[in-house]
Amino acid sequence: MAQVLADRREMEFVLHEQFEVSRLSEHQEFSEFNRKTMDMIMAEVRTLAIKEILPTLKIGDQTGCRYEGGKVTVPPEFKRAWNQLIRGGWFAPCQNPEWGGQGMPHALHVMAQNYLIGANMALLMVAGLNQGAGRIIEQFGSDEQKKLYLENIYTGQWSGTMALTESECGSNLGDLSTSAVKNEDGTFSLTGNKIFISGGDQDMTENIIHLVLARIVGAPEGSRGISLFVVPKFHVNADGSVGERNDMVCTGIEEKMGLHGSPTCSMALGGRGKCIGTLVGEENKGLSMMFLMMNEARLMVGAQALSCASSAYLYALDYARQRIQGPPLSGKDRASVAIINHPDVRRMLLTMKCHTEGMRSLLCYIAFLEDQKKTSKDSREKERYQNLIEILTPVGKGYVTDRAVDVCNLAVQVFGGYGYTSEFPVEQLLRDVRITTIYEGTNGIQAMDLLGRKLAMKNMGLFLDLINEIKTTLAEAQMIHSLSALSGKVETAVNTLCQVAEKMDESVRGEAVLRAYAFANPFLEATGDVIMAWMLLWRAAIAEKKLEKGVEGKEADFYEGQLNSAEFFISGFLPVTMGKMASIMDLCSAAINISDASFGGK
Catalytic residue positions, numbered:
440
Give the residue among 404, 417, 394 at the shortest CA–CA distance from 339: 417
Q: Is 594 exposed, middle or buried (0-12, 13-18, 19+ CB in 10 A)?
A: exposed
Q: Which residues contact 553 (CB under 8 A, 6 or more apart)?
A: none
Contact (CB, 8 A) for 214 and 190: yes
Q: What contacts 351, CB < 8 A, 6 or more positions away?
A: 406, 407, 410, 568
Enter the DSSP assignment of 159.
E
CB atoms within 10 A of CB 187: 16
In angstroms, what CA-CA distances link 271 with 226, 344, 357?
Answer: 21, 58, 49
Angle, alpha carbons 558-560-566 (nearest 5°): 110
Report residue 100 CA to chain centroid gap. Answer: 23
Strands, DSSP E only, in 199-299?
208-216, 226-232, 234-236, 242-245, 248-253, 264-269, 275-279
Shortest CA distance to 270 belongs to which of 325, 355, 212, 313?
Answer: 212
Sign of CA dihedral 107, 112, 117, 123: negative
- Cα–Cα distances in angstroms (integers) from residue 398 to residues 170, 282, 572, in the given order: 17, 31, 22
Q: Is 550 exposed, middle or buried (0-12, 13-18, 19+ CB in 10 A)?
A: exposed
C-alpha span between 309 and 315 (Å, rounded): 10
Task: Please name which of 277, 127, 92, 290 lies closest in space to residue 199, comparing C-alpha atoms.
Answer: 127
- What's phi and psi for 127, nearest 5 deg? -65, -35
DSSP category for residue 224: G
Host H or E run for residue 163? strand 159-163
Residue 245 phi, psi dihedral angles, 5° rounding? -70, 135
CA distance 155 to 131: 10
CA angle 516, 362, 477 (to 5 degrees): 100
DSSP 400-450: HHHHHHHHHHHHHHHHGGGGGSTTSTHHHHHHHHGGGGTSSS-HHHHHHHI
Measured CA angle at 208 (ends 53, 281), to 5 deg: 120
